[in-house]
Structure 1
Amino acid sequence: MNSEYYQTEASEDRLEFLFDSVSEKKTIPKIITFTRYADGIDLFNLAFGDLKEDARLDDLAVSNNADMEKVMATVIQSIFLFFQENPKAVLYIEGSTMQRTRLYRIIISRELSAFQKDFDIFGRIKSESEPFVLNRPYDGFVVKVKN
Structure 2
Amino acid sequence: MEDQPIDDGSLMNIEQDYYERLFNNRLTPSQGGEKREKKNFPFEHMWELFVYAAVLGFKRGNPKSLTKLNKPFRWGNIGSQHRKNLLVLAVAKAATFEILQEKERIKQFIEEYANAGLSIIDQELKNNPAAYSDLETFTLKILHGLPKA
What is the TM-score with the length of structure 1 in the denominator? 0.33
Q: Which one has a larger percent strand, Structure 1 or Structure 2?
A: 1
Q: Which one has a larger percent helix, Structure 1 or Structure 2?
A: 2
What is the TM-score with the length of structure 2 in the denominator? 0.32
